[in-house]
Amino acid sequence: MASSRLEKDSLGSREIPENVYYGIQTDRAVENFPISGLRAHPRFIDAYVFVKKAAALANAHAGALDKKLADALVKACDEILSGKLRDHFPVDVFQMGAGTALNMNLNEVLANRANEILGSPKGSYKPVHPNDHANMGQSTNDTFPTAMRLAGLLILKESVHGPLEALEKSFQKKGREFDGVLKSARTHLQDAVPIRLGQEFAAYGECLRKCRLSLETAEKGLLEMGLGGSAAGTGLNTPKGYREDVIKELARLTGFPLVPSKDMREAMQSQRPMAEVSASLRNLCLELTRIVNDLRLLSSGPTTGMGEINLPAMAPGSSIMPGKVNPSILEMFNMVAFQVLGADHVIAMAVQAGQLELNVMAPAMAFNLNFSATILGNALKVLKEKCVDGITADEARCRHYAESTMGLATALNAYIGYAQAAEVCKEAAKGHKTIVQVIRERKLLTEEQIRTIMDPVKMTEPGIPGKD
C-alpha cells in the first residue's frame, strides 16, 4: 500500500496519500463532488496563484507575514506558475458554493510545498499553515471572484482577441479580393437587386470589428478588483495598506491595469462584469452564426444550390455518397457557437443568483466563461485558417445570377413607375425570361437606355442609374 499521512481539520481526521501536495479539505471535496470529472482551467489556476503570490508579498510588506514564510510561499507559487504540481488540483469545477474547495486546495498545496522548501514534511503545516499563512488576509469570497475575473482577462487576451481580429481582417481581405464579382443580393431568400460579393464579405468584416470593440469595452469591468474585501467586503483581518498593495502587486505580476473597486461590497455582491463579457461573446456568436450560415448557403451545391463561392475541401463528407464534400468547418463553428450561447445562459442565471453579501455561484461563472472563451478562440482560428482564407468565387455563376435577378426591375421605378415595373417582373417570371428581355419585347427602353439604366454594376452603388 502507498504510504499516507494523517491530517486533521475541524470535522475530524483522515489518511491522505503521502505523495500528494493537497490536504484533507481537498480530499473531502474530491469525495463530496464527483460530478463532472472536469478540473479548473489551467489559466484559472494561474490566475489564482497570481492572487496568492500578490497576497504573500503584500502581507510581507505590511509586516503581517514573516519574510521567510512569504519567500517560501512565493517560491511555491512560482513553481506552480512554471507548470509544476499541476496534477495536485483535483477539485471538480462543480463544487461547493463560492469556490471554497478550490481555494483550500490551493492553500494546502502552497503550504505543503512551502514547508517542504523550508525543510518540513508535507502535512505538518508548520511553520506554514494553509489558513493562517497561505490564506492570510483573504477569504474565498474575495479571492475567487478576483481570480475569476483575472482568468477571464488572461484567456480572452491569449485565445480570443488575436484570432478574432485575424478573422476580421480575413473577411476584409476577401472583400477587396471579391470587389469586382457581381452577383444578386437576396432578401427573404428571394431575388433582390445586384450586389458585389466583395460588399457582402466587407460587411462581415465590419460586423466582427464592432463585436471586437464591444468585447474590449465589456472587459474593462473585469479590471476592477474587490480583493482585500475578505469575508464580507469589509476588509476584516487585513493589515493596513494591504488592499492597495495587493492589487498593485497583482497588476505588476500580470501586466493588466487592475484597479481597486470603488466599493468592495459591490464587487463581492455583483458579478455583472462576468455577465457583460459573456453577453459580448454571446453577441459575437450570434453574428458569426449568421455569417457562417450565409457561407453555407452561398456555397450550397455544387450543382443544385447557389454555388456562388467555393469552400476549401477539408474531408470527405459522406460515408455512402462518393465525392460529397460538406462545409465541415462551418458546421463545427455552429456547434461551438451554440455551446457558447448555452454557457452564457448559465452565467446569466448564476449572476442573478447572488444573495446579500455574496454570490456563491462563482464557480459556475468561472467554468463557463473560461470554457467558452477557450473553445471560441480555437474555433475562430480554425474558421479563418481552414475556411475563410481559402474561399474562392465562382464569378460566372455569380454574374449569371446578377443578370437574371428579378431585382433588376428596381432600376425601372424612376422611369416607368413601380406598378409597371412589377408587371415586367411578373411576365419575366411567368415566361422564364430575364428582365431585359421583357423590356426589349415591350420596347420600354431604348438600347442605349438599357445599357445605361440596366447596368448591374451601377446598381451596386448609391444613386439612380441613368441619372447620377
- CATH code where residue 112 lies: 1.10.275.10
pLDDT-derived band at 400, boundaries 50, 70, 90: very high
Task: Provide the CATH number for the domain around residue 286.
Answer: 1.20.200.10
Residue 234 in domain: no
Q: What number is the average pLDDT over the span 387-411?
A: 96
| 253 occurs within a structural domain | no
Same domain, 327 and 360: yes
| CATH number of the domain to which 432 belongs | 1.10.40.30
Domain count, the chain: 3
pLDDT band at 1 (very low <50, low <70, confident <90, very high): low
Average pLDDT for residues 8-22, to the nearest whole number?
95
Instruction: Kindly write down the DSSP assignment for every residue of 237-301, as one continuous string.
Output: T--TTHHHHHHHHHHHHH-S--EE-S-HHHHHH--HHHHHHHHHHHHHHHHHHHHHHHHHHHT--
Q: What is the mean pLDDT of residues 262-267?
A: 96
Tell me which of 346, 362, 392 is where a domain ends. Answer: 392
User: Is 350 among the domain residues?
Assistant: yes
Question: In this structure, what are the phi and psi dihedrals at residue 302, rounded to the nearest 5 degrees?
Answer: -80, -15
* Amino acid residing at 37: G
Decide if 262 is inside a domain.
no
Domain boundary among 104, 136, 168: 136
| Burial 151-180, CB ≥16 within 10 A → b, else e | bbbbbbbebbbebbebbbebbbebbeebee
- Angle separating helix axes 140-155 and 242-254, nearest 10 degrees: 20
pLDDT band at 467 (very low <50, low <70, confident <90, very high): confident
pLDDT band at 463, cuts 50/70/90? very high
Mean pLDDT of all residues in 40-64: 98
User: Do 171 and 94 share a structural domain?
Assistant: no
- Judgement on whether residues 185 and 292 belong to the same structural domain of the protein: yes
Residues in the chain: 468
User: What pLDDT is attached to residue 466?
Assistant: 85
Residues 52 and 160 in one domain: no
Give dist(CA 180, CA 459) in Å, integer.
13
Grid cell 411567368 is found at 430
In a domain? residue 446: yes
pLDDT for the residue numbered 198: 98
Q: Taking residues 282-303, report their average pLDDT.
A: 97
- In terms of domains, do 173 and 314 share one? yes
175 within some domain: yes
pLDDT digits (tens, 9 = 90+) for 220-257: 999 999 999 999 999 999 999 999 999 999 999 999 99
Do 170 and 309 lie in a common domain? yes
331 and 215 fall within a common domain: yes
Residue of 261, 270, 318, 328 marked catalytic? 318
Joined together, the cell numbers standing for residue 318 give 459522406
**Do 180 and 276 belong together in one domain?**
yes
At 369 the pLDDT is 98
Say whether both 29 and 161 belong to one domain: no
User: Is the predicted pLDDT of residue 2 greater than 90, yes or no?
Assistant: no
pTM (2 decimals)? 0.95
Mean pLDDT of the chain: 97
Strand partners, 191: 186
Spatial separation of the C-alpha atoms in residues 21 and 112, rounded to whole Å: 6
Query: Prior bond to 239 cis, omega within 30?
Result: no
What integer pLDDT is reported at residue 335 of this predicted model?
98
Residue 67 has what pLDDT?
98
Q: Assign residue 405 a region: left if phi > 0, alpha if psi is -120 to 50, beta otherwise?
A: beta
Does a structural domain hold residue 6?
A: no
Residues near 400 by beta carbon (within 8 Å), at least 6 away in sequence: none
155 shares a domain with 129? no
Q: Do 325 and 448 sit in the same domain of this protein? A: no
Give me the helix-helix angle, 362-386 and 162-177, nearest 10°: 30
Q: pLDDT, tens digit, for every residue of 71-124?
A: 999 999 999 999 999 999 999 999 999 999 999 999 999 999 999 999 999 999
Residues 73 and 125 in one domain: yes
The pLDDT assigned to 62 comes to 98
| Residue 178 included in any domain | yes
Summarised one tens digit per residue, pLDDT across range 421-447 is: 999 999 999 999 999 999 999 999 999
* Alpha helices, DSSP H, located in 82-189: 100-117, 140-155, 162-177
Is 318 marked active-site?
yes
User: Which of 392, 426, 452 represents a domain boundary (last residue)?
Assistant: 392
Structural domain boundaries, residue 39:
20-136
The proportion of the chain whose per-residue pLDDT surpasses 70, expressed as a percent, equals: 100
